Amino acid sequence: MPDVYDVDFEDERALLTKDAQVRRRYLRIFNKRRDDFESDLQYDNYLEMVEELIFKLVNNVDLVQTRAFIDKYRRDNQDLIARNQAKKADDDRTEAERVAIAERQRLAKLAQLRQQDDILEEQRRMQRRQEEAEQLLRIQKGDEAVARLRKRREKANRKKRKKEAAAAAAAKEQEQRSRMALIPVRPTYPNPPPAPIGVGNVSLDQRPQQRTDDRSRELRNRAAAAAGFRQRLVYQRALLEFEQSLHFAALQHGAG
């Protein structure tokens, strides 16, 4: 493997790569810590010296003297370098453990958040299912209410039609009875029929006399009530029949 001093880096990218390689190699040697110095000034001077050495190595400045200085420093501080390397390894392990713990905590937190999201999503699904069930129940209740209302309306319509039909039948029956009351009835008389009033030698005393006793009146009232007619209508019909019989008798007498 060629030594880093013999590599000629011409462009900036190569220079940065060489700087990283030099730092990684020689910072393992120049690894003093702050607690190795009595003051911050001494520690800052040490860091400046290290940066100057790295600059010379990267830019090929005084390579012989710089390399000799590094070799002498390594021999003089061999024990300190070993201790600091061990401390650096411990620090790296501690940092790795800290990073691992932080990563586990992050993953645990992420899993907890996902679990909470799953719980919330399940709660939302349950709420949606409950709302859908309640909406379906309201629709079913509404349909049942509409069906009950429709049945009540149909029942009311049937009652109304039944009443209208009964009223129409009663009106028709009443009309038929009224018509029957006005139909002329041809009376039957013995042969020959009696002469009408004022015709020939028939006097007023020969007209049939209507019975006016209480028994006859009661019979007429019962007959009228049984037929469904009023008493006045019965009298009117009787008078009409009487007048028609007189007219018919006059016609018969004239023809004879």
State the angle between helix axes of 231-255 and 78-182 in degrees (0 to 180), rounded to the nearest 10: 40
Secondary structure (3-state) at 62? coil
pLDDT band at 135 (very low <50, low <70, confident <90, very high): confident
Q: Which residue has the tokens 């006045």?
A: 232
Task: Count CA atoms within 13 Å of residue 25 on its CB side.
Answer: 15
**Which pLDDT tens digit goes with each residue over 19-43?**
888 898 898 899 888 988 899 999 9
Secondary structure (3-state) at 4? helix
CA-based nearest residue to 90, from 145, 31, 153, 133: 31
The domain ranges of the chain are 4-105, 184-255
182 has a pLDDT exceeding 60: no
Q: CA-CA distance, 250 to 199, in Å (whole number)?
A: 7
pLDDT band at 216 (very low <50, low <70, confident <90, very high): low
**Which pLDDT tens digit goes with each residue over 4-23?**
445 454 567 888 888 888 89
207 has a pLDDT exceeding 80: no
Residue 203 has a pLDDT of 45
Q: CA-CA distance, 73 to 50, in Å (whole number)?
A: 11
Average pLDDT of the segment spanning 54-71: 90
Secondary structure (3-state) at 76? helix
Residue 1 has a pLDDT of 41
221 has a pLDDT exceeding 90: no
Beta strands in 131-217 (DSSP E): none
Cβ atoms within 10 Å, residue 249 = 20
